A and B are shown apart, each in its own frame.
Chain A
Amino acid sequence: MADQTLPTNAWPANAAPSDLISPGRKRLGRALMAIATLGLLAVIAVQILYKTEVDTIGFETWRPVVYAYVLWGVALGVGQVLTRGEDGQRALFLLPALLFTIAMVIFPTLFGFYIALTDWNLSSFSGRKFNGLDNFWQMLADPYYRNALFNMVLYVLAVLVEYVIAFGLALLLNAQIRARKFFRVVFLMPLMLSPVAVSWMIGKSLMEYRFGPAAALARQLGWENPAFFSNPITARISIMVLDAWTFIPFMMIMLLAGLQAMSREVLEAARVDGANAWQTFWQVTFPLMLPVSVTAIILRIIFKLKLADIIITVTSGGPGGATDSVSSFIYREYRDRSNVGYGTMLAMAYLIIIIVFVTWLLKAANRFVRNVN
């Protein structure tokens, strides 16, 4: 995930001579931006006053604020071009994505941190009450949340098994075989299917206790009571298998691209030196594949940390919360108990844990790849 450095021949930002822009145009642009900003602030102020019942003029919902924000963004863009000419035109490339992401992420996240500090149950009539860190202390004492976090550790560790299988499949597809394209399409198929449909197709019907084919096969193989989702350990493994089935193709494709980018000469050289297939793999292929492997594993872990759909639809966290991931646990906290305040606190705590974990992971992976090569 190394950040590419800028192309050295990127044009300097201040190439446009600013004296080409007339002072009148500059003034116009500044005025436009100022008016738009004032307008946006005015709409927000009016709305806050209306909602707090200080004054009676205002709108039913906050939607006008959204429109005002969009208009403000447009005015900002036009203002940039008017005041800064070519530089402004360049800024215009970045502005839409930046304004969009800031509005959609920063504001809700800050709002989320506020909700996390309140006692707010949608089904009770008392409404929102600020209660400081109560939710936090409750979280520390919550055995189900700890269990969900522990499950996430297990689920993330399962990525290593997925990686081994995906690497094997990539090697198979990279071998001298016929119908390579056919197998590639077939192997990619599970990734296309929606996890919810997969939950039904495999979790609820193939693995069905009474007449699912997977259960029938398990009986044939000597497992007398093939209940995939009734015992905590088998249930966890079943969830891992389901998730692996959908996501192995993702890692496989990345590893295959890495294998195909490897130079033939290196492999030939190894063979000339008398290395057998096993030695070639461990001493040439595997080390050369390390950077791609690390990227694939990290991306997969990031996706794994969001795991929820399959658990929600197949087990609803059962038996007794044994298969819960953090996301599915919070989902039920909201859906079944309408506990918005507490649920948000759990989510925010999870966000902080993830940020720390992923940052550490990226650093460790960087150091690992550098040390090996």
Chain B
Amino acid sequence: MSVQTTDYAASEIRSPASFVANRVFIYGALVFWAFICLFPIYWTITTSFKTAVDVTQGHLIPFVDFQPDWKGWRSLGLSPDSILRTSTVRDEFIKRFMNSVITSIGASSLAIIIGSLAAYGLTRYRYQFGWFKNQDISFFFLSQLILPPVVLALPFLVLYREVGMLDTRVGLILLYTLMVLPIVIWIMRDQFNSIPVELEEAALVDGLSIWGAFFRIVMPIALPGMVAAFILAMVLCWNEYFFAALLTSTDAKTIPVMVASQTGSQGINWWSMAALATAAITPLAVIGIALERYLIMGMTAGAVK
């Protein structure tokens, strides 16, 4: 840090002790909060390797306090010794897991496709449907964000039964698309606004059609934003519980519903519950670590001008 003003330098030199105290406070607070964030995760992962005695006695540190055991994972059929044998619990888990994967990827993809198109149209062209102009259409899309799931849940329960889409993945995908569409449009509008119109004008002069210019010129530039929106949408869909709990029963049940149904029963085995929770959070924890940049990009879109 270079010394720029005398005042500034004086205050730095005057109190090295306060500087140290400042550092200690900052790092202390950082470590404290990191502990709060990580301890529940640590607890869950270690508990999945505990036996009953270790849980009740509150042992915390593996190999020191207690001897890790595959018990929790064996009950899921995912431990090294049971992975090759048939296991109904594992089959059920994999089925739920695949449901979650398919619904969240399907809904995010659908939302990205129709959301990007709409956002592009809204940032580039002027529309008018009767009384509704661009501003009103944008507001219509974004206002869906405040719609609580509970308002749609019961009508959809009835409608889906009439349409024969209750307990299907397609039904969930459509609802999740609706849920994340406002967020996708919000992010993508911000993205397209930051791309200069001159690029497309040049492309049109070169003989590309409107859609050609969109696919060949604009899309590649907006790709990072699309990735960000996609990942944020996926996180929301993966963790969604309310619709899944009401609208699925056997075929299309997702991971959160499976986790919740296990917590409800009395006398649940802590180790198997912990293993299930660990398995449920791992995919997103990995995504969070690997693609943190995109997540932050998605969350801060439009927040700062």
A and B physically associate: yes
Contact B134 A6 (CB under 8 A): yes
Contact digits for B35-75, partner A, Cβ 8 Å, 1 yes 0 no:
01111110110010000000111101000000000000000
Contact A109 B151 (CB under 8 A): yes
What is the total number of residues of chain B having a CB less than 8 Å from a CB of chain A? 111
Query: Which of chain A's residues has its CB closest to B133's CB?
Result: A6
Among B80-88, B90-98, B221-229, B241-249, the one that faces the other chain is: B241-249
| A29 to B: closest C-beta gap in Å | 18
Whether B106 sits at the interface, judged by CB under 8 Å, is no
Whether B24 sits at the interface, judged by CB under 8 Å, is no
Task: Give which listed residue, A4, A94, A109, A189, contacts B285 with CB less than 8 A.
Answer: A189
Contact B121 A194 (CB under 8 A): no
Contact A296 B281 (CB under 8 A): no
Contact B26 A177 (CB under 8 A): yes
What is the total number of residues of chain A having a CB less than 8 Å from a CB of chain B? 104
Contact B288 A188 (CB under 8 A): yes
Contact B154 A112 (CB under 8 A): yes
List A residues 243-292 near B (Cβ within 8 Å): 245, 250, 253-254, 257-258, 261, 268, 271-272, 274, 292
Contact B149 A177 (CB under 8 A): no
Contact A10 B124 (CB under 8 A): yes
Contact A272 B8 (CB under 8 A): yes
Contact A331 B242 (CB under 8 A): yes
Measured between beta carbons, the chain B residues less than 8 angstroms from A268 are: 4
Whether B118 sits at the interface, judged by CB under 8 Å, is yes
Query: Which of chain A's residues has its CB closest to B110's CB?
Result: A100
Contact A175 B270 (CB under 8 A): no
Contact B288 A200 (CB under 8 A): no
Measured between beta carbons, the chain A residues less than 8 angstroms from B142 are: 1
Contact digits for A183-224, partner B, Cβ 8 Å, 1 yes 0 no:
111111111111111111110111000110100100000000
Contact B118 A358 (CB under 8 A): no
Chain B contacts to A: CB under 8 angstroms: 4-5, 7-8, 26-27, 29-30, 33-34, 36-41, 43-44, 47, 55-58, 60, 113-115, 117-118, 120-128, 134-135, 137-142, 144-159, 162-165, 174-175, 177-178, 181, 185, 189, 193, 197, 209-211, 214, 235, 238-239, 241-242, 245-246, 255-257, 259-260, 263-264, 270, 273-274, 277, 280-281, 284-285, 287-289, 292, 295-296, 299-300, 303-304
Chain A contacts to B: CB under 8 angstroms: 1, 3-4, 6-7, 9-13, 60-63, 65-66, 86, 89-94, 96-98, 100-101, 104-105, 108-109, 111-112, 115, 168-169, 172, 175, 177, 183-202, 204-206, 210-211, 213, 216, 245, 250, 253-254, 257-258, 261, 268, 271-272, 274, 292, 295-296, 302, 305-306, 308-309, 312-313, 326-327, 330-331, 334-335, 340, 343-344, 347-348, 350-351, 354-355, 358
13 contacts between A and B (CB under 8 A): A9-B197, A10-B124, A90-B210, A104-B175, A105-B152, A112-B151, A115-B158, A172-B30, A191-B288, A257-B303, A312-B241, A350-B150, A355-B146
18 more A-B contacts (CB under 8 A) besides A10-B197, A177-B26?
A4-B193, A61-B162, A93-B118, A93-B120, A97-B117, A105-B178, A108-B152, A108-B159, A175-B26, A184-B292, A192-B285, A204-B263, A245-B36, A254-B300, A308-B150, A312-B241, A335-B246, A340-B157
Rank and list the top 6 A-B pairs by shortest CB-CB distance, nearest first.
Answer: A93-B121, A97-B118, A194-B239, A257-B300, A192-B288, A108-B155
